[in-house]
Structure 1
């Protein structure tokens, strides 16, 4: 009887280990399929969410949602800046086109697309290096926010399509 119990316990431990390795923390993650945090924080304003996310005693799910919330705010700001630069470039490119010169906007769009690919791959690499961890997604969103803010700083400090003096 003792032997049967030991075998049963061993099987349960193996089954538990197999289940744990297939948890959400061990699977691939596609951030583009993540639900927006407005669903998680339904009924709250952005200011309320921002205030809530400043709490130090949040659970893992709340921490992850708050990290994603910060990314969503950063990418919205970056997209607005990109749209402003795009409008300036369109105006500038009209003159270039009239003078039979190359246009800047297609290259700027390609650079932005390549930057997004870099950011995504960098953050996936960082988070998958850690291995399975309950804070994996928080680290991912923090990485996405950090690199997005760096890009915003690059575009804000020096407008890449502004005419040189």
Structure 2
């Protein structure tokens, strides 16, 4: 019983002293990056913004394709399904391409940044492609 109480007390102390889940990640000055950790963190921030823009455009383009399908006869539909197929293929391509680009610095401190920069570049390009798909349909 004493062992159980001791372990329980240790657990409470660990929980109390540990970082709270509300803590934010470090905020770096991305205009003045000095360390690889700062460069990686700033690259990740840029990717996160690009990914958010992609997700927003995806919703618009998918809706446009679904609306387009609704205007077609049943045997002519398939725009939304084709878009989804293309997006899944693009994700596979993006991940493989960025893995390959990371090999430029395999095992080194730059590998993560090369991978993230590749993701950002390809994500921005894909966002533009999705926008161009939706524009003729009116989205």
- Normalised by the length of structure 1, the TM-score is 0.62
1:76 aligns to 2:76 (yes or no)? no
Instruction: State how 1:1-165 maps to structure 2 within 5 Å.
Output: 39-41=24-26, 52-56=29-33, 58-96=34-72, 98-156=73-131, 158-159=132-133, 162-163=136-137
Task: Give the Cα separation in 1 of the matches to 2:74 and 2:89.
Answer: 28
Question: Is this contact kept in 2: 1:89–1:105, CA < 8 A?
Answer: yes
**5+ long unaligned stretches in structure 2:** 1-22
Aligned-residue RMSD, C-alpha: 2.3
Could you report, residue by residue, the CA deviation over 1:128-153 in whole angstroms, capped at 9, with x for unpaired residues? 24322111111111111011111122
Runs of 4+ residues over 6 Å off in structure 1 = none
Secondary structure in 2 matching 1:159: helix
Task: Give the Cα separation in 2 of the matches to 1:127 and 1:55.
Answer: 24
- Normalised by the length of structure 2, the TM-score is 0.73
Q: How many residues matched?
A: 116
Shift of 1:59: 1.4
Question: Is this contact kept in 2: 1:119–1:147, CA < 8 A?
Answer: yes
Task: Give the Cα separation in 1 of the matches to 2:32 and 2:135.
Answer: 40
Question: Is this contact kept in 1: 2:104–2:111, CA < 8 A?
Answer: no
- Assess, with a 3 A threshold, how the Cα gap between structure 1 residues 160 and 106 changes in structure 2: closer, same or farther: same
Could you report, residue by residue, the CA deviation over 1:61-84 in whole angstroms, capped at 9, with x for unpaired residues? 111111111001001101101100
Task: Give the Cα separation in 2 of the matches to 1:60 and 1:130.
Answer: 13
